[in-house]
Structure 1
Amino acid sequence: MKHLVTVERLCLAGHSLALAFGLAGLLLVLPNPEFIASLPTVGQTAFGWSMANGGVGYILLGAVTVAIYAYRTLGIRHWLTFMLPAVILSLGSELLGTSTGFPFGAYGYLNGLGYKIAGLVPFTIPLSWFYVGLCCYVLARSGLESIGLPLWAKLVGSIALGSVLLTAWDFVLDPAMSQAPYPFWEFGEVGEFFGMPYRNVTGWLGTGAIFMFVASLFWGAKPLNLNRAQLSVPLIVYLINFAFGAIITVTELDSRYLIPTSMSIVLGVVPAIALWWMTKPAQGVESALSGNLTREVPTVSVGVGQK
């Protein structure tokens, strides 16, 4: 498992750097075309390529990071039975939304996020639903497992809280990606909720809840038994993706957008950190440093042996 941890950490570092580079490009470089013009031809070509493909890169790196994390920490069964419903159902929801306006409102994707499936939805979008969605669900389920709730309340609460965490991220993502000077999608109607239709919020809640519910049927009721060290990757991925959208929203849009940003913090960031903290700490220095590598086999066997 050590080589998987190494690859996972490299991908997480690449994911973080790609987000940081994207922020620098969107906030500092693109608004100053004289800087781009001062670059040599090779530099201009490289910058143009990186900005055109940066969105694809950071999403792919995030998806690979979380896929490896899920495989080594939860087991192949848990990984695939979350990823496949998340990708398939979110893609169906996005294709329906871009075709009919339901369930997110009238919207369409622009360029910058890769090849569009059926000419409508970039292939990277379902992957982003997967990797952020799994982080939200694992944090919610692990946190609720640590308190004395009835089994049904833990399972239902994990789906509900996981979908809220996912939707809270969208409160900063959608303004940043649709209303900033360099958008990646656009709404075809005037949105009542800071440029977004209200049904975009219910569409996010519903889509997340549906694929989390389907995944929970496969996962069963067996506790995940994850500690804080094992939940560090989901928390980090969630927080850096929040920060990406929040920084663009706060710096590029007017002060009204401090409201959805604050809502995202209250409904997403604070609960995510609280859920992580509610879980048991890792036992021993070695597990804290290595992501509990010494207990990988028991953890995987729990994931595979349930239901």
Structure 2
Amino acid sequence: MKPLEIAQRICLMGHIATMPFGWVGLLFILPNPEMIVNLPPIGQTLFRVSMSGGGVVNILLGAAAVALYAYRTLGVRRWLGFMVPAVCLSLSSELMGTCTGFPFGDYGYLSGLGYKIAGLVPFTIPLSWFYVGLVSYLIALGGLQVAQNRTMIRQVGAIAVGAVLLTAWDFVLDPAMSQTIIHFWEWGQEGPFFGMPYQNFAGWLATGALFMSVGTWIWGQELPQVSRPQLGFPLVVYLSNFTYAAVLSGFSGFTIPVVLGMIVAVMPALILWWITPEKGDEGERLNSPAGDRNRVTQTTVNVVAK
């Protein structure tokens, strides 16, 4: 196993391992302050550290794992061609949203997610847009390979479906993260959907579709042909993050968003993964120059042999 693959797996395992600590702290310990008082001094210290930095570590590990996966399987151009627009455009959207209320509605971030850029948006937020956005896009892109030789349909479909999968994740995460006993952002307006404005979801769809469109344009006509095994990693990242959000919201009493999220997010993701072809491009990197050279060399050898 190569060093980068090992690092990718370690980051993914660490990303997933931080989730139970979040569940225990947010759902059981904080609602019962006597449990904190009864902890030994080292336990209280560990609890404070986990509550203040656990969310940051979770997001950093998730972003690192997906970045390593993208570098290994897509190459530098496609990795940065998606990550840079995702981070820059989502940060711009978040800064505009926290200043003006557009496009998400009137909201603001509290503490717990790291240093705030311009005092408004935690630096981890655009990273979460990137890594959940990329795995959502890749899941859609893989399933839409059924539209063979129809590049435009696959491009537009991957942007639309990927943006829906991304928004469906927030659909489940937002209630628990903004309205429980301790929350990381708060709404300045009372919305009709469990305290959230519908405008929030329109903003998520628009922002996700925007940076996915820019990434698709940078990638060009040569979209990667992925196989079902190669989509295993994006699927695990997506489902683990959905599960984290679903547990927080479900135990906090927001069962309807969880059920709707299962319908809009989990089922489509599994179907898209299932209909992805069993075999894709050979080799570690999808449609890489090295892979192209190998195929050209093999073709030349076959012609000479004939």
Fold agreement, TM-score > 0.5: yes
The AA in structure 2 aligned to 1:301 is P
The AA in structure 2 aligned to 1:276 is W
Report matched runs for 1:154-193 at 5 Å: 154-193=154-193
Aligned counterpart, 2:35:
35
The AA in structure 1 aligned to 2:36 is I
Distance 1:154 1:203, change over 3 A: same
Tell me the distance in 2 between the aligned counterparts of 1:303 and 1:208. Answer: 30
1:167–1:201 contact (8 Å) kept in structure 2:
yes
Residue 304 of structure 1 deviates from its aligned partner by: 9.6
Tell me the distance in 1 between the aligned counterparts of 2:161 and 2:291. Answer: 21
Residue 141 of structure 1 deviates from its aligned partner by: 0.9
Aligned counterpart, 1:26:
26
Distance 1:103 1:297, change over 3 A: closer
1:78–1:303 contact (8 Å) kept in structure 2:
no
Residue 264 of structure 1 deviates from its aligned partner by: 1.2
How well do the aligned residues superpose, as a CA RMSD in angstroms? 1.9
Tell me the distance in 2 between the aligned counterparts of 1:120 and 1:247. Answer: 27
Residue 121 of structure 1 deviates from its aligned partner by: 0.2
Tell me the distance in 1 between the aligned counterparts of 2:89 and 2:291. Answer: 23
1:103–1:202 contact (8 Å) kept in structure 2:
yes
- TM-score, normalised via structure 1 length: 0.91
Local SS of the residue matching 2:209: helix
Q: Which runs of 5+ in 1 are unaligned?
A: 284-291
Distance 1:81 1:297, change over 3 A: closer
Query: Is 2:300 aligned against 1:300?
Result: no
The AA in structure 2 aligned to 1:20 is P
Local SS of the residue matching 2:108: strand
Greater mean deviation of Cα atoms: 228-237 or 296-305: 296-305
Local SS of the residue matching 1:189: coil
Aligned counterpart, 1:231:
231
Deviations 1:153-175 (A, max 9, x none): 11101100000000111111110
Deviations 1:2-48 (A, max 9, x none): 11111111110000011121111111222222222222222211210
Local SS of the residue matching 1:194: coil
Deviations 1:183-203 (A, max 9, x none): 110000000122111110100
Local SS of the residue matching 1:108: strand
Q: Which runs of 5+ in 2 are unaligned?
A: 294-306
Aligned counterpart, 1:88:
88
Residue 72 of structure 1 deviates from its aligned partner by: 0.1
Distance 1:196 1:304, change over 3 A: farther
The AA in structure 2 aligned to 1:258 is T
The AA in structure 2 aligned to 1:242 is F
- Aligned pairs, how many? 293
The percentage of aligned residue pairs carrying the same residue is 56
